[in-house]
Structure 1
Amino acid sequence: MNGLHLTADLSGVDPALPPMTDPAALAALCRDAIAASGLSGVAELFHRFAPEDAQSGITGVVLLAESHVAVHTWPELGGVTLDVYVCNYGSDNSARAEALLDALLKAFAPCDAAVQRLTRAAASTPRQ
């Protein structure tokens, strides 16, 4: 379970960006960023919240062979939260996780981004 968990809280995102309110646009953005980073998507779900109009936010999740990426949009607030977690089973995927997060940050172009990095390893540490 050794891996890297990245989160980012974005503010000042243009609510008119298609991935903010269009599930298909957010799904395409995520798929493209995953492929470009060298990770492997295995399943996905994108949901627009009620009221299901052009201004409703979206939650999207892509399961990765390496773990997951989740995106939540709040167009009414110009906010987005990002969650990228990759396991390092077999190889170190940290650079791929960073590349995926960077691609999403670039696409949303926030005025501000608070990024957190957490190394996940406790469960894979042998017990004494």
Structure 2
Amino acid sequence: MNTLGYHYVVEASGCDPKVLEDAKELKRIMLEAAKIGEMEVRSTYFYKFSPRGVSGMLIVSESHISIHTWPEKGYAAVDVYTCDTDSKPEKALEYILKQIGADYAHITEIERGIEDEDGTYTHAILSWDEEPREEAKIK
């Protein structure tokens, strides 16, 4: 089965509020994640909301990486989408979750652009839970 891309949609909980409200730090984290994930950054945009919260986007040659934060809830919504089979979106995501201090992450992987025999496209979905801080302690 041929696919055109992998899209990771993540609900990250128990994150460090100080990191989640720091647009400069989030940009640094996301740029490093792109590097770790072997993705080429084309453009970035980060916006700090008042009083709290940040939305940030990296446009990469392979697609995008985005984050939207709610520091007061310790919550971040993270997306990593790639249409390049050589990039490592899982590595990028793992780095982001560790850097924002996520205690828990619900991850949905969407295999996108699966071509059916009739020339139409569909997707497949797989979801799982992780506890990034606990996994870091084990390693």
TM-score range, shorter chain: 0.7 to 0.9
Aligned to 2:57: 61
2:31 is the alignment partner of 1:4: no
Aligned to 1:22: 22
Stretches of structure 2 lacking an aligned partner (at least 5 in a row): 121-139
- Give how far 1:7 is off: 1.1
> SS where residue 16 of structure 1 aligns?
helix
- Structure-1-length-normalised TM-score: 0.83
Give the distance between the partners of 2:81 and 2:99, measured in 1 at CA.
19
Task: Give the one of 67, 70, 90 matched to 1:71.
Answer: 67
Q: 1:85 to 1:50 in 2, by over 3 A?
A: same
Give the distance between the partners of 1:49 and 1:125, measured in 2 at CA.
46
8 Å Cα contact 1:37/1:99 also seen in 2: yes
Aligned to 1:43: 43
Q: 1:125 to 1:36 in 2, by over 3 A?
A: farther
Provide Cα deviations, 1:6-47, integer angstroms capped at 9, x if missing partner: 011011112123xx1121111111111111221111001000
Provide Cα deviations, 1:89-115, integer angstroms capped at 9, x if missing partner: xxx14x611111111111122121101
Per mean C-alpha deviation after superposition, the further-off stretch among 61-70 and 28-37 is 28-37
- What's the Cα RMSD here? 2.0
- Structure-2-length-normalised TM-score: 0.77
Runs of 4+ in 1 over 4 A off after TM superposition: 123-126
Identity %: 28
Stretches of structure 1 lacking an aligned partner (at least 5 in a row): none
**Structure with the larger RCO, 1 or 2 (CA within 8 Å, 6+ apart):** 1
Per mean C-alpha deviation after superposition, the further-off stretch among 56-65 and 97-106 is 97-106
Tell me which amino acid in the other structure corresponds to 1:9.
Answer: E
Give the distance between the partners of 2:83 and 2:45, measured in 1 at CA.
21
8 Å Cα contact 1:2/1:124 also seen in 2: no
Give the distance between the partners of 2:111 and 2:98, measured in 1 at CA.
23
